[in-house]
Amino acid sequence: MVCSIKAILYPPLCLECSQLLPKQGTLFCTLCLEQLTLVETVERCRRCFGELHKGRCERCIHRPVVIARQIAACEATMGPPLTLLKAICRGRKECLSAAASLMAYQWLKEKMPLPDWLIPLPLSFWQKQQQGLDYNLHLASALGKIFSVPVAPLLTKKFDRERFFTQGEFGTLPMAHAKKSGIVCDRRIVLVAPQLEDLRLRAAASALQPFFPMQIDALCFAAAG
């Protein structure tokens, strides 16, 4: 009876087109779900996941290797992938689980070995307060349950005083520092974030490198638009 009342008051609607869904717990209708496909990795750089030109990545060819490989599940430029990305960044837990499933599928499809630790990219205090939770940590936790791999939130954002006073928020610049990071020594780690932002991921990896991880990779839901 309670379920039926809930269905009447809050009918399940497709996140993308708002069409009525047949049951609770479903995010997209059949047509929209067909558009939620994994992005092809063949024509993308292994280091930064950028599109290759003439078979090589001009951005990575002359810079040091900080992250062995970056992978994204979807290309969220429009449609259901973009809608799901926005829902992730609003902290909708059911969407976090769905995104983690797609990320895990992409990782396993690429035949990548499971890591020893998953490390979410840090959010500022301001970002956490806006959404009421650390959606990066929740995304990593959902992924960790699928992989049966522990999650270590070792990174925190540095306080950007100038940006705080000029824009009224904590810095969103790619600045992170590591704390208590001895556990990553000689371990394979994967950085986790909703969107693949090369600059932020490299900054996070650089903060962890002094603690001698065996290898640092990155797994995100959405490729950079």
Asked if 191 and 136 touch (Cβ cutoff 8 Å), the reply is: no
Query: Which of residues 155 and 126 earns the better pLDDT score?
Result: 155
pLDDT at position 177 is: 58
Q: How confident is the model at residue 91 (pLDDT cuts 50, 70, 90)?
A: confident
Distance CA 210, CA 196 (A): 23
**5 pLDDT more than 60:** no
pLDDT at position 164 is: 52
pLDDT mean across residues, the chain: 85
Strands (E), the chain: 69-74, 117-120, 155-157, 176-178, 188-195, 215-222
Query: Which of residues 122 and 147 earns the better pLDDT score?
Result: 147
**86 pLDDT more than 90:** yes
Could you tell me which residues are beta bridge partners of residue 190? 118, 217
Distance CA 118, CA 95 (A): 19
pLDDT digits (tens, 9 = 90+) for 128-186: 888 888 999 999 999 999 999 999 998 887 665 555 554 444 333 344 556 667 789 99
What value does the mean pLDDT take over residues 16-45?
Answer: 88
Could you tell me which CATH number the domain at 42-166+175-222 has? Answer: 3.40.50
Q: 156 exposed, middle or buried (CB, 10 Å; 0-12, 13-18, 19+)?
A: middle
Q: Which two tokens stand for residue 140?
A: 């990593």
